[in-house]
Amino acid sequence: MEHAIADSLGTRHVVVTGAGGQLGAALVDAFPGARGLTRADWDVTFPPPNLGEVDLVLHAAAWTDVDGAEANPQDAASANVGGTQNVASLGAPLVAFSTDYVFDGTKRTPYVESDAPNPLSAYGRTKLHGEAAAGEGAWIVRSSWLFGATGKNFVRTMLALGGERDEVAVVDDQRGSPTYVGDLAAAVRELIELPRGLWHLAAAGDCTWAELAEAIFEEAGLDCRVRRITTAELGRAAPRPAYSVLRSERQDAPQLPHWRDGLRACLDRLS
């Protein structure tokens, strides 16, 4: 039966991997009664422990250090590919999370599910291979530029820098859809009532990193200027797509709020 788990959420045994991260924490909040597993509980690069009955796995554990993956591609693959294989071995319905970085950014209109991936970085390649490791029976969720009130992310970094400096230099030639993890987690609650397969779930609207930084300072009331620079000037180890806006071509896809609304919600949580 396609929707065998579409009963009351309260009766399901839901497991969240990577519960110590920003997305995992948001998923635990969005799924009351879910069992959140941090890396200390289960390092997914190892086979699963005995978890008892599991009706749904929300797999948020991942290697997310994009530049670090260039230097340590095998470690990134161990987490993002091997880790997903280990989670899939539980045999429970699975939601696996992927990234806009599976695309090369040469397109100038939003990427949809039927667009061919072509990752530029080791990180993007491991996430794409992780999609395959999740299996055809999983929900594969590609999202982008995640931020939340916890964990390491661009919003929290800018808030810290904006409180210390008069000016920050931020890249202005990469465009995407910054997505608040609280909004993504709420969309996943809708998604699990829909057919399994590949889904693009990202915030409405798009911007560059520099535009996002300016919005953060404006919303937070910080008097900090943004100096717009190029990706080449920043000199990061891993290449990034210049354009990675995600949209769904699926008619019943959950709709997320605008990224600016997500930013306000995040800042409310932080305050």
> Could you tell me the residue ranges of all domains in the chain?
9-151+178-206+244-259
Mean per-residue pLDDT for 82-89? 97
Amino acid 7: pLDDT: 45
pLDDT for the residue 212: 98
Would you place residue 62 in the very low, low, confident or very high pLDDT band (cuts 50, 70, 90)? very high
Distance separating alpha carbons of residues 86 and 133, to the nearest angstrom = 9
Distance CA 29, CA 53 (A): 20
Residues in contact with 252: Cβ distance below 8 Å, sequence separation at least 6, in sequence order: 194
Number of neighbouring beta carbons within 10 Å of residue 267? 17
Please confirm, yes or no, whether 101 is among the known catalytic residues.
Answer: no
Quick one: pLDDT at residue 12?
Answer: 76
Q: What is the distance between the alpha carbons of residues 140 and 199, in angstroms, rounded to a whole number?
A: 6
Chain centre to alpha carbon of residue 196: 18
Helical ranges in 79-153 per DSSP H = 83-88, 122-134
| 9-151+178-206+244-259 to CATH, choices 3.10.290.10, 3.40.50.720, 3.40.50.11390, 1.10.3720.10 | 3.40.50.720
Whether 6 shows a pLDDT value over 50: the answer reads: no
pLDDT at 4 (0 to 100): 44
Coil, strand or helix at 97: strand
Residue 217 has pLDDT above 90, yes or no: yes
The active-site residue, picked from 101, 123, 180, 243, is 123
Percentage of the chain exceeding pLDDT 70:
96
Q: What is the mean pLDDT of residues 183-210?
A: 97
pLDDT of residue 115: 98
How large a percentage of the chain has pLDDT more than 90? 93
Which residue has better confidence, 156 or 9?
A: 156
Per-residue pLDDT of 102-124, as tens digits, reads: 999 999 999 999 999 999 999 99
* Angle made by CA atoms 23, 27, 33, in degrees to the nearest 5: 150
C-alpha span between 57 and 55 (Å, rounded): 7
**Average of per-residue pLDDT across 234-252:** 95
Output the pTM of the full model.
0.94
pLDDT score recorded for residue 11: 53
Please report the pLDDT score of residue 189 as a whole number: 96
Residue 120 and residue 101 in contact, taking contact as beta carbons nearer than 8 Å: yes
Fill in the amino acid letter for 18: G
